[in-house]
Structures are given as C-alpha cells and as structure tokens.
Structure 1
Amino acid sequence: MTSITRRTILLAASALGAVGLTAGIAFADLPVLAKKDTYKVGFAQTESNNPWRIAQTESMQAKAKELGFQLVYTDAAGSAAKQVADVNSMIAQGVDLIFLAPREEKPLIPAVMAAKKAGIPVILLDRNVDQSLAKAGEDYITFIGSDFIDEGKRMAEWLVKNKPDGAKIIELEGTTGSSPANDRKKGFDEALAGMAGFEIVASQTGDFARDKGRQVAEALLQAHPDANVIYAHNDEMAMGAIAALEAAGKVPGKDVLVLSIDGGKEAVQAVVDGKIAAVVECNPRFGPKAFETMARYAAGEAIEPWVKNIDAFYDPSNAKDEVANAY
C-alpha cells in the first residue's frame, strides 16, 4: 500500500486557501515514501568521538532494531567530505530514506540535493543546513532538533540572574560553520548585548572537542587572566576547560564559573560537584521521534519544517535529583 499521493495533498491544500496551497506545493516537491512493513534506512552520523554522539547513535540503532528495520549506519569521523560520500553510498545502496546529521551547514547541501534527485527523502537530525540553499518541505522533509538559539539565550539569562554584578567571559565555540555553534553563539551573545558589566573578552572555536577545548581555554586564560566565566558550546569543551582551570591553579565554580550545553551525565555530575555552574540540555535520544516522523511522512502527513526537541536545564537546584536521568 502506497502513501497518500502528493496530488491528494495538493487538492486538500487548495481547499485551505493560499497558505495551504503553498505548503502543498512544497510538500509535493519531495520524494514519496511508500508505506511498508519494513524499510532499509540510512543514518549518516557526523562523528562518534563524544558521549552525545554515541548516545544519539545508540538511540537510532535501538529504535531501528525494535521496528525490524535495516539501518545502514556510517560515521563521517568529523569530515564533511566523507559525510557527503557516505550519503552518496547510501543512495547507491537504494535506501528508502536517509537520516542525516549534517556536520556543517553548507558542505552537506550537495548530499541533500543528490538524495532528492535520486528520489530518496531526507530527514535532518540535530543540525540544520543553510536555509538559503535548501529548504524543509522542498529539498528535505524536516529538521528534528533543539532550538540552539534558545539554548544560548537561556544560558545568558541564567548568568545574568546568578551573577548580576557582571562577568568577563571566555566563549568556547563549537565546530565552525555548524548550526549549533552559530546559533548557540548568537543566542548567548545577543542576550548579553548591551547588558552593563557583561563582556565577552574572547571567543574561539574548540571544535566541540575536549582536548581542543582544553588547549584553547589554556591559551585564552593566559591572555585574559581576569576572565571569571567560561561559556562552552558543549560538555566536552566544558570538561576540557575544567582541566585547563585546574592546571592553572584556579578552582572551577569558585574562581571561574563554567557554563555548558548538552547535559551528559558527566557534566550534570560536575554541577553536583560544583565544577560546572549550569548546563542546558540538548537531548540526544532521537530514535523515537526520528522514526515516528518517518512513519507520519509515509502515512501522507504534511510534516512541519521543524520538529522541536524539548530540553531540560540543570543547575544546583536540581542536578542531584536529575543526574540519574542524564544520558
């Protein structure tokens, strides 16, 4: 049994007026996904060098196994070029749908377009692509992920509330060109813009990696010894920053507040231990929502362009109670 045709969606949309018609045309541009009992599905992961990525992969694999689907899994090992090649390999293998966690916003556009041309629908997970070059509902089904701008904003708001006298901040950015790095910076920086006493004294990429985060934090702490806050775009860099602070003879949580995003068990425990001040969660357990969205699409539903994940927040008020629930 095949899914509802795009012509049916167009006819239904036309009855809803101009707004519905526009949505129907965009949906009609996408490849069809037949409704079947089982599927061969691709999952193009960006890397597996940190707990967040490992948790995401395990969630996707567990859900595929539960459903009885064949999952073609690849690991790009941090290379956008390899990830494009991985998607092309999935296309050649004739998968029914591709889940793609794009390493960077622009370099993965050719992969998205190649899948569309081959008639294979794509769902983006956790990172988006450049919206001026590819659009949800036209070139891929949807983006499933967190509100990265809001994550940065929530962290800035917590900082202002809990350190009202101001701060000199070192910002450890994620992978250059990736949507979480771009947006976590945007949300945080804009929320602090014009706030008296709050100054970002240095901002540099640590590539979402623990060791690089440590190295960058060491250099920036030497250049800015008066910095009293480190805002890291993920837990790995936050843990690296803690190591850098301790090596410099500073006490994390006392001499310098460390702020993080992701919410892995190690980081939440560090909140309990007083080494991290606060963490915004970025939930990596994508399996259930990813495959549910795929099923909705196969059933002919028009999918919203952004399927949002809801993320928790950890600080000393709740970390001890929540650490067991962290990934």
Structure 2
Amino acid sequence: MNKKHVSRLFPDFTDKKVVDSHMGRLDTHGVSRRDFLALASAGAAASLGAASLGMPTAAVASPDGKLAFLTGFMFNEWNTTFDRTAKTAAAEFGIAYTSLDSQFDAQRQLNQFEQQVAGNVGSVIFNLADGSAIKGLANTAKENKIYIANIWDSLPWFTPFDASEYYTMFAVSEEVRAHREVTEKLLAAVTERFGGGNIIGVTGSKGSLLELQRNRGRDQAFAKYPKTRLVDELPGLWNREDALRVTEDLLTRNKDVVGIVTQDDDIAQGSIAALNAAGLVPGKDVLVVGASGTGLGSKAIQSGTYLATSGNAPAFGAALFTARLYDVTHGWQPRASERLLNWSTVTLTRDNIDGWIARYVDNGDVEPFDYKRMSKVLHPDDWDPQAEVFPMDIDNNFHGTPKPPGWTYPAAYVAARDQGEHEKVAAEYAAHYKIKYDGPSPNKKA
C-alpha cells in the first residue's frame, strides 16, 4: 500500500461512536480510547482502519519510539508492579509507554501485538500467555523492524539466535536454585517443628517453563530432607482465586498436611486463605513458602503468617528490560552472551524482610533502582546492572523439555560459550555491579 494520503477511504476517527466500534471489532482489549487516538496521530488509526476494511497495511518508523508491555496476565501483583515500574522507567528514558493484558488468551495477545505493529510501536516486552507463540512474534518483529524482549515463558529451545537481531533478549531469574533454597527453608522448619510430614504443592501454569524450573528446584530440596514427602500438587495459575480453590481440594484429599510449597506469592495468598477457611493457622499449623517477594507476600513474612519467599523484585525485571530496549533502539548492539541472561534473587525470611520492604514495598515515591544507570548508551563507562546478572545456560533453562527433531545449538551461542565470552561477560557485569540488589535504594537520601 502506498504511503500517501488516502484519508477519504477511512472512517471518521474523530467520532466517538466510530472509535468505539472499531476498538470492539479490532479486539483492542486493554487499550484506552486515548491510546487509540494517540496512535491515530502517528498514522496508526489509518492503518487500523485499513485492516478493518480488509486492506493491507505498511509499517512505518515510529515517531515516538513507544514501548509496549504485553502480558498474558495482569491480575497478580508481580505483573502489576512490573507494569508500573516499566512505565516509570520509560518516562525517565523519554519513551512513551503502554501496556496490554491478554487475560491468558494467546490469540488476543497476538492481536494486541499486531495492533501495536500497526501503531508503529518501537519495542515490546512480552510476558507470554503461551510461550510457543514467541517464534511467530519474533518473525513479525523482524519483518517490521521492531525490537522485542521476552521474560518467563518461551518455546523450548528457541532462542533469539533462531530469530533475528530484533529479538534482542530472553531473560529470566535463575529459578531452579531460588526455589530450591526457599523449599529448603520450609522443609528444615517442618522437620524441626513437626519431625517431618506431608507437603503439598500449588504450582503455576501446567507445562510452562517457569513451573518446570521451580518444580525442579523444589524437588531437589526434598532429597536433603528424607522425613518430608511431597504427596500431591495442583496448578494455581498464578492467582489467588484458583490457588484458593485447588488448595481446598488438596487439603480435602490429603491428611496431616504440615507444609505448602507455592510458586508465587499471589498463589500463596490463596493457599493461606484456604488454610484459614479450613480452621488451620498458617505459620503455626501449616507452614507456607512461595516466590516473587511481592508486597503482600513480604508483609505476610513480617507478620509470621508466611515462612519464606524468593525476592524476585518485579521492578528489577522492568528496569532491565526497559533499559535494554532503550539501548538497542539507540544504536547499541549486545554481544551474543548478552542476549540470553539470568539474574539472581535473594531468599527472604523474617531475618531480612524489613530491608526488602523498605526498598521495594513501603518505598513511597523513592524508586528502587537508578534506571538510567542500567543503560550502556547513557552510561557507557559506569553502567550498573544493580543485580547479579550473568549469561544463561540454555541446558539448565530448558532442562526437562524435549529438543525439536534436528535441533542443534545456535552457532553464536556455542562460539560465545566455547571461546570464553560467557565468562568475560559474567566478569564484566560483576565488576560493574555496584548498587546492591539487597541493599538500600540508590535514590534514598542519606
């Protein structure tokens, strides 16, 4: 389609009824009318109008470099905090920002991405409703020269090297070790207090990479505590309501439960509610652990209701991804070892929860990170990852998932691993790591 004025062919987007009609037909779930009209000012409304008329569209360079966060689910605290922080970080970088929630609907998430493409978005962060979608999304990103980055779920053994330079990063926290350490806290306490006993698990979403990794760490912990037994598990789908329901089911069909390993703090809140409903006292009759280090989870540890969690600050993930997308859209090129990354978390208990709450929960208007300092474009010499960040071992990340027929290690990954680049990058990030992840905010006044 020629990029010329053809406005007479399109609907009148100054009419509220016309806008509402097209937003409904185009499945713009999560997009405000203001955002739709803002896209129109950049030429996107014309493209969307063309799509609704069955006409082809053409991607053009974004006039504002907008960043979008497309998540499969916005209903838990980790995602809402990630969203809020990414918006703040984007503002500091001078980037327009929007976020969309597909409510676990992979087709809706695909539609939302296509709408952002039509709206000339510059970069996108994905938390996928279905990890298998990343291959198609990466191909669309390449065709339209849009930089993308992905957190958490993915198509097993598919990496940025299998796509293009526009798939700039797949990064997750190192969850096997993190969940092993949290589970060990539970099993040690259960062994000391009850002499061992039955443990149930409330997981995330069945088959997702994050669930598999946390299950692996959890199961490794049981090998050290033979008097404890994982007797049953069900998926809590990363939210309180489903976690409440499945915990009730697990408590009904399993007797003498003394511990619950959950895979998220929102899940843990649902499990705690189920214990209360069953007349059991969480933290006394049954011990509970989880993951994420959210506000509610942190406060529950502080009060003694909740034993431990892994401190995986959503604000860090948001800062890391926003800084990366700012850098690549401003000319910086990552090395191979910087396109697949892990970061370390910290195990939170009553011994260290107060400092975590001060920095990440009850921090008022004090941002927990120096967002610009994460940028290698803005701080080429004194950039700081502000957490322990290191190259990902893809065997560890995708362990337990079958490799596709004929799959081989990406050449760029092998070269980086075998020629010492992984170690060099790990050492470089460690040397630049000055603002400690588990210390006070760098923005806190002395």
Assess same fold via TM > 0.5. yes
- Structure 2 distance, partners of 1:167, 1:104, is 36
Q: What residue number does 1:281 align with? A: 311
**Which of the numbers 294, 304, 308 marks the counterpart of 2:325?**
294
- Structure 1 distance, partners of 2:65, 2:144, is 17
Q: What residue number does 1:162 align with? A: 189
Once the two structures are superposed, residues 273-303 of structure 1 have per-residue CA deviations (whole angstroms, 9 ceiling, x without a partner) of 1110111122201332113222443312325
- Structure 1 distance, partners of 2:173, 2:145, is 27
Structure 1 stretches lacking a partner, 5+ long: 1-35
Is 1:261 the counterpart of 2:294 in the alignment?
Answer: no
For 1:66-77, list aligned pairs within 5 A. 66-77=92-103
- Structure 2 distance, partners of 1:67, 1:196, is 51
In structure 2, do the counterparts of structure 1 residues 206 and 128 end up closer, same or farther at CA, with 3 Å as the change threshold?
closer
Q: What residue number does 1:324 align with? A: 358
**Which of the numbers 214, 223, 246 marks the counterpart of 2:244?**
214
How far does residue 187 in structure 1 lie from its aligned partner after superposition? 1.4
For 1:131, give the aligned amino acid: P
- Structure 1 distance, partners of 2:247, 2:233, is 10
Instruction: Check whether the contact 2:245–2:274 (CA below 8 A) recurs between aligned residues.
Output: yes
In structure 2, do the counterparts of structure 1 residues 194 and 67 end up closer, same or farther at CA, with 3 Å as the change threshold?
closer
Q: What residue number does 2:381 align with? A: none
- Give me the identity figure in percent: 23
Q: What residue number does 1:93 align with? A: 119
- Structure 1 distance, partners of 2:306, 2:106, is 31
Q: Secondary structure at the match of 1:84?
A: helix
How far does residue 106 in structure 1 lie from its aligned partner after superposition? 1.6
Instruction: Check whether the contact 2:69–2:99 (CA below 8 A) recurs between aligned residues.
Output: yes
**Which of the numbers 160, 175, 199 marks the counterpart of 1:136?**
160
For 1:153, give the aligned amino acid: R
In structure 2, do the counterparts of structure 1 residues 141 and 128 end up closer, same or farther at CA, with 3 Å as the change threshold?
farther
How far does residue 148 in structure 1 lie from its aligned partner after superposition? 1.9
Runs of 4+ in 1 over 4 A off after TM superposition: none
Instruction: Check whether the contact 2:282–2:288 (CA below 8 A) recurs between aligned residues.
Output: yes
Q: CA RMSD in A?
A: 2.2
Q: What residue number does 2:210 align with? A: 180
Instruction: Check whether the contact 1:101–1:124 (CA below 8 A) recurs between aligned residues.
Output: yes
User: Rg larger in 1 or in 2?
Assistant: 2
Q: Secondary structure at the match of 1:163?
A: helix
Aligned residues: 290
- Structure 2 distance, partners of 1:42, 1:321, is 31
In structure 2, do the counterparts of structure 1 residues 39 and 152 end up closer, same or farther at CA, with 3 Å as the change threshold?
same
For 1:50-61, list aligned pairs within 5 A. 50-61=76-87
Q: What residue number does 1:240 align with? A: 270
**Which of the numbers 193, 214, 224 marks the counterpart of 2:254?**
224
How far does residue 38 in structure 1 lie from its aligned partner after superposition? 5.5
- Structure 2 distance, partners of 1:113, 1:197, is 50
How far does residue 191 in structure 1 lie from its aligned partner after superposition? 3.1
- Structure 2 distance, partners of 1:85, 1:73, is 14
**Which of the numbers 57, 60, 65 marks the counterpart of 1:39?**
65
For 1:293, give the aligned amino acid: R
Q: Which has the higher contact order (CA 8 A, sep 6+)?
A: 1
Instruction: Check whether the contact 2:178–2:346 (CA below 8 A) recurs between aligned residues.
Output: no
Once the two structures are superposed, residues 62-114 of structure 1 have per-residue CA deviations (whole angstroms, 9 ceiling, x without a partner) of 11122221224222122222112211222222322221111232244322332
Instruction: Check whether the contact 1:235–1:267 (CA below 8 A) recurs between aligned residues.
Output: yes
- Structure 2 distance, partners of 1:108, 1:138, is 11
Is 1:308 the counterpart of 2:342 in the alignment?
Answer: yes
- Structure 1 distance, partners of 2:270, 2:318, is 29
How far does residue 195 in structure 1 lie from its aligned partner after superposition? 4.4
Instruction: Check whether the contact 2:182–2:347 (CA below 8 A) recurs between aligned residues.
Output: no
In structure 2, do the counterparts of structure 1 residues 291 and 237 end up closer, same or farther at CA, with 3 Å as the change threshold?
closer
Q: What residue number does 1:151 align with? A: 178
Q: What residue number does 2:130 align with? A: 104
For 1:284, give the aligned amino acid: P
In structure 2, do the counterparts of structure 1 residues 109 and 190 end up closer, same or farther at CA, with 3 Å as the change threshold?
farther
Q: Secondary structure at the match of 1:131?
A: coil
Structure 2 stretches lacking a partner, 5+ long: 1-61, 362-446
The more displaced of 221-230 and 279-288 is 279-288
- Structure 2 distance, partners of 1:194, 1:263, is 25
Q: What residue number does 2:44 align with? A: none
- Structure 2 distance, partners of 1:299, 1:319, is 37
TM-score (norm 2): 0.61
In structure 2, do the counterparts of structure 1 residues 258 and 160 end up closer, same or farther at CA, with 3 Å as the change threshold?
closer
Q: Secondary structure at the match of 2:129?
A: coil
How far does residue 193 in structure 1 lie from its aligned partner after superposition? 4.1
The more displaced of 275-284 and 80-89 is 80-89
The more displaced of 309-318 and 251-260 is 309-318
The more displaced of 223-232 and 101-110 is 101-110
Is 1:62 the counterpart of 2:88 in the alignment?
Answer: yes
